Every structure is written in C-alpha cells, then in structure tokens.
C-alpha cells in the first residue's frame, strides 16, 4: 500500500504533501534556546561586574539625604535608598562581589571535593572510609545552617562568609567525583594502564579525571547560581558584608520593610533572580549537550 497523503484545502483531486518535519536548526534552537538565553544573561552580568566603575552614574557610597527614597526617575534609574544613595550604581557594584563570591566558592569547592572524591575512590579501604565518613559528617548538617554558624563564629566580612560557605560546599563534589571515579576505575583502559606500570598519579590525572569532568562541569554550572543565592542570603542576615559595601543580599535587607518604596529591595532581588535563572539555563543546556542520547535526537 502506498503512504497516505495529507489532503488540505485546494483544488479537488490535488493532494498536498504532509508538512515537513522541523529543520535540524529549529530543533537545536528549541532544545538549546534557553541555554543561549542563560549564557547571554551570565555574560551580560559578568561584563557589568567588570565595567561597573566606568558605567555606574554615581559612586555607590555617595550619600545625599536630601534625595532619600526617591522613586525611579531619569536622574536615578532605580531610585535611591534610605541614605540617598543611587540604587542603580550600588546594584552594578554589588554584582562584582556577588559574582566573585559565587565563582570563588564553587570553583574552590569543586577542586577540593573532586580531589577528595577521586583519591577516596582510588585508595579504597581505610582511606576511602575515612574521607567518606568526613564527607557524611558535613552533609549531616543543613548547608545554610552550618554556613551561618561558621560565619557567625568567624565574624562579619565577605572573606569569612566565603570560607564558611567553602566548608559546606565541597562534600557534594566529593560524592559525585567518587561515584564517577569508581565507574571509570572498573573500565578496561584503567586496568591496562595499571598493567603497563603507569603510576597511580598519572592514571588519575591523565585518564580518570578527564572522563569525570562532564558531570562535574554540569554541577559547577548549576551550583553557581545556588552559591550566589546563598551568599546573598547570608548577607541578608547580616553576615555577608560590612556596610556600606554594596551587595545584593544586604540591599534587599535594607528595603525589606519599605513597602511603599518597593524599588529599594525589588531591583536587587531581580538581579539575584536573573543570575540564578541564567546559570540554571546554562547548566541544563550543558547537561543536554553532554548527553549523547539527547544530541542524537
């Protein structure tokens, strides 16, 4: 039997072929479109953070009580806060600290956790048990509560807050890296390298680590937004930065009781939202791109 034809409105007896399937480019845009949008958002915020001293119309700490709590206008695009400081300028400078804190915590946490996880997977025995029990001990506590306690003990300041977050950030990478390394260790190429007499350090660095970077890179990308949100949360609670240093979480805290002056807290909150969404879109796109089954569809 011949394949049926899709007959649409037209001259009688004339068959119109079925609509062709979407092009490959259209499928890629539909699949990776959010990732491109997220990447654009992240790149835009990185550029803003780098160029903040040159593109901000006012100094972030310039106080003018005569214009306090002014609504958004041509002179102050995002209004002014309780001390008459320009919210837009403080938002631009706050991106420098928020993004730097997020990148520092996640990259260092990923490096420490990956090293611990791969070493534990390779050593096995007592070394594996000791490292994993230490990881489980840190994972027993809610991350935000443990980071809050450590930050309170160390004192207020961005460096102390980053150190507190770093203490609770590496275990998730250690767990994932250990699981991936155990899978790679059972592969034949690792056994062949061991038989050939390659040193464990070379096998770990040249063979096992490169084959575990894909899922770890996805976790890093997804975790950047979470780290920025956590840092903002600690700053909101008064443990992130020392006033008058501009930071998004502390800016939201300054405007949390100003209901009528909504712009004081709304614009920093939107900045946090866009950055987190951007990194999540990038992480989802990277995960789909690294998945061979997803790319083949």
pTM, rounded to two decimals? 0.83
| Model confidence band, residue 257 (pLDDT cutoffs 50, 70, 90) | confident
Q: Tens digit of pLDDT for each residue in 158-190?
A: 899 999 999 999 999 999 999 988 888 777 877
| Tokens linked to 255 | 């405007």
Q: What is the CATH number of domain 29-52+82-295?
A: 1.10.3720.10
| Model confidence band, residue 98 (pLDDT cutoffs 50, 70, 90) | very high
Q: If you ran DSSP here, which 8-state letter would residue 238 be given? A: T
| pLDDT at 2 exceeding the cut of 50 | no
Domain ranges of the chain: 29-52+82-295
| Model confidence band, residue 1 (pLDDT cutoffs 50, 70, 90) | very low
In percent, the amount of the chain with pLDDT more than 90 equals 43
Compute how many other C-beta atoms are within 10 angstroms of the C-beta atom of residue 61.
Answer: 14
Compute how many other C-beta atoms are within 10 angstroms of the C-beta atom of residue 34.
Answer: 17
Compute how many other C-beta atoms are within 10 angstroms of the C-beta atom of residue 21.
Answer: 8
């Amino acid at each position: 039997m011949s394949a049926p034809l899709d007959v649409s409105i037209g001259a009688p007896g004339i068959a119109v072929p079925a609509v062709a399937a979407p092009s490959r480019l259209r499928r890629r845009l539909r699949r990776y479109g959010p990732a491109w949008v997220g990447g654009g958002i992240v790149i835009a915020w990185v550029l803003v953070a780098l160029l903040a001293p040159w593109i901000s119309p006012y100094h972030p700490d310039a106080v003018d009580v005569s214009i306090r709590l002014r609504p958004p206008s041509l002179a102050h695009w995002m209004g002014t806060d309780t001390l008459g400081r320009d919210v837009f300028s403080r938002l631009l400078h706050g991106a420098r600290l928020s993004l730097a804190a997020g990148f520092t915590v996640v990259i260092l946490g990923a490096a420490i956790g990956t090293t611990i996880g791969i070493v534990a997977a390779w050593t096995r025995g007592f070394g594996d048990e000791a490292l994993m029990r230490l990881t489980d001990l840190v994972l027993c506590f809610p991350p935000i509560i443990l980071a809050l306690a450590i930050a309170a003990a160390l004192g207020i300041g961005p460096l102390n807050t980053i150190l507190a977050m770093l203490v609770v950030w590496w275990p998730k990478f250690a767990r994932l890296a250990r699981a991936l390394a155990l899978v790679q260790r059972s592969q034949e190429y690792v056994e062949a390298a061991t038989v050939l007499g390659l040193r464990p350090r070379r096998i770990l660095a040249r063979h096992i680590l490169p084959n575990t970077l894909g899922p770890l890179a996805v976790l890093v990308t997804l975790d950047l937004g979470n780290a920025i949100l956590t840092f903002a949360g600690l700053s909101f609670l008064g443990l992130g930065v020392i006033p008058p240093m501009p930071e998004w979480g502390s800016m939201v805290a300054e405007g949390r009781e100003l209901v009528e002056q909504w712009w004081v807290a709304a614009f920093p909150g939107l900045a946090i939202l866009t950055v987190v969404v951007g990194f999540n879109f990038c992480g989802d796109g990277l995960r789909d791109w690294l998945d061979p089954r997803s790319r083949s569809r």
